[in-house]
Amino acid sequence: MDNPGFLIQNQELTEKEFHTISDYIEKNVGIKMPDAKRIMMQSRLMGRLRQLKISTFAQYIDYAFNNEQELILMIDTLTTNKTEFFRENDHFKYMTDKVLPEFAAKGKNMVKIWSAGCSSGEEPYTLAIVMQEFIRKNPGKIFNFSITGSDISTKVLDKAYNAVYDLSIVEQLPQNIKHDYFLKSSNAANPVAKIKSDLRRHVSFRRLNFMDSDFCMPEIYDIIFCRNVLIYFDKPTQERVISKFMKYLQPDGYLFLGHSETIFSMNLPLQTCAPTVYRKV
């Protein structure tokens, strides 16, 4: 718990301290932090200093770089996680209209999907809803599916695993989706909704750093979603990450990137099927 009476002696993150942390983040997480992020970094880390009762950023850096668990918490604090249900919905429509009918025509009974950079779980649960709706509307075509969500942040993975979301977010979804896949809390003082267990059983989560030499994922996937994550990496890092995805994507499997991301000029075994939708060849 933060101690409001505790005073941080040096409230300004020096240029040297900023670069010590930003260089670590870039090397170990792949995310570039330009000088313009210094105030953001300072503001976010102040909460860690107060919680730990550390009075200077220099002391915090010394503590964090000698404490693996704190390094994980520091990464959690500094990485941005923004997502929502059915974000960039064209991708889910393409899945429903093109990809899943193709899989069904090939007699594929089990579909395995990886949501890489899943944040707080809205994307993998959206994928689960899309799969469940397709199975319901196309009986006897595809019988089962599994979804793996991964992220570097333990904080957002905890939220994803718990599957509890603010009611204000869930209320924006279509009525049939809310009715079939969410349970609304009866506590008016805590307006939240939880993903129903029948859907949650298809989804699992694990921590993963895109900078790891091998992702050690448990499956080979038919579909990989990695959207609005690669934009934080430089071009060579993006290509290395996608190359590692290829090890876990089935031949003729699909990769979905964010609408502002591209594989242009990269040497990858992928062909474009639709804007930011690619197929492994």
Query: Which active-site residues does the annotation give?
Result: 44, 151
CB of 166 within 8 A of CB of 84? Answer: no
Residue type at 169 in one-letter notation = I
Q: Which tokens in the block code for residue 57?
A: 């950023």
State both tokens at 239: 């290509």
